[in-house]
């Protein structure tokens, strides 16, 4: 659902068009790169600079191939950055909840690519959080609490669709240099507090019955240190 800025780098990139077919579908927290596309094969925003490399122009895409560089995190803009509204789970009083899955809330803010077709990309090293519906959710090997092999400090990689995983066998980059960061912790959806919040309180707002939702539903987020290899 969302990339969340914790202690990010400064000045994200916002000038690159998103590739057709992916720019409005990114959830936030995927890894992207810049690629050249034929200027007539991919739609572009009006007024886009007309200086081209031969017949190609750059676009941001999460479709990755071995050796693709640079690597950046996609920000979908619907939580904490790009919108002031968040999501609503209480129709009468208009209560706001963060980190819930999209099926249980109404998103009030726009996607970062809405109207412009451009994606916000964070390329600087820093601390970021990603809701668990936007990462590798494989129970035994994914970036989820059920993965018993996951350790604090574990290396993280990007799959060929940009999704972050701790599973090195899914690393899209055959040269072995596509480590994009390190795993730090799992946190509740309002992570960052100095007070430990019990899981029951974290998930209470997500279910009228009080039954906690599965972590992959967005009740937790993965805290990562993003520092991708650039060469």
Sheet of strand 96-97, all strands in order from the earlier edge strand to the far edge: 96-97, 87-88, 106-107
Sheet of strand 31-38, all strands in order from the earlier edge strand to the far edge: 56-61, 31-38, 72-75, 120-122
pLDDT score for 114:
66
pLDDT score for 215:
40
How far apart are the C-alpha atoms of 40 and 57, rounded to whole Å? Answer: 9
- 121 and 75 Cβ atoms separated by less than 8 Å: yes
pLDDT score for 156:
95
Tell me which residue has tokens 């939702």. Answer: 213
Cα angle for residues 185, 82, 50 (degrees, 5° grid)? 115
pLDDT in tens, 65-82: 888 999 999 988 766 544
pLDDT score for 56:
81
Q: Strand locations in 47-163, DSSP E?
A: 56-61, 72-75, 87-88, 96-97, 106-107, 120-122, 126-131, 155-158
pLDDT in tens, 185-204: 998 755 554 444 454 444 44
- 134 and 25 Cβ atoms separated by less than 8 Å: no
Cα angle for residues 2, 7, 68 (degrees, 5° grid)? 65
Q: Which of 65, 64, 84, 62 has its CA nearest to residue 18? A: 62
The pTM is what? 0.75
pLDDT-flagged residues of the chain (< 70)? 1, 39-54, 78-115, 174-177, 189-219, 231
pLDDT score for 54:
62
Distances (CA, A) of 144 to 47, 116, 123, 140, 156: 42, 33, 24, 8, 12
- 183 and 166 Cβ atoms separated by less than 8 Å: yes
How far apart are the C-alpha atoms of 200 and 206, rounded to whole Å? Answer: 10
Pairing mode of beta strands 106-107, 96-97: unpaired
pLDDT score for 45:
58
Tell me what the pLDDT averaged over the chain comes to: 75
């Amino acid at each position: 659902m969302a990339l969340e800025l914790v202690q990010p780098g400064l000045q994200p990139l916002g000038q690159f068009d998103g590739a057709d077919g992916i720019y409005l579908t990114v959830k936030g927290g995927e890894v992207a790169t810049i690629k050249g596309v034929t200027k007539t094969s991919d739609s572009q925003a009006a007024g886009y600079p007309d200086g081209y490399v031969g017949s190609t122009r750059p676009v941001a895409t999460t479709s990755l191939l071995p050796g693709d560089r640079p690597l950046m995190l996609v920000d979908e803009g619907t939580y904490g950055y790009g919108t002031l509204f968040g999501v609503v789970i209480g129709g009468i009083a208009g209560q706001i909840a963060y980190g819930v899955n999209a099926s249980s809330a109404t998103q009030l803010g726009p996607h970062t690519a809405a109207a412009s077709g451009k994606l916000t990309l964070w390329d600087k090293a820093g601390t970021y959080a990603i809701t668990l519906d936007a990462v590798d959710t494989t129970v035994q090997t994914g970036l989820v609490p059920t993965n018993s092999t996951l350790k604090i400090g574990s290396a993280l990689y990007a799959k060929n669709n940009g999704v972050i995983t701790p599973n090195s066998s899914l690393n899209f980059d055959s040269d072995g240099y596509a480590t994009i960061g390190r795993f730090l912790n799992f946190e509740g959806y309002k992570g960052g507090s100095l007070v430990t919040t019990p899981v029951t309180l974290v998930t209470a707002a997500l279910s009228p019955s009080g039954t906690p939702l599965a972590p992959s539903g967005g009740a937790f987020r993965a805290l990562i240190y993003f520092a991708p290899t650039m060469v």
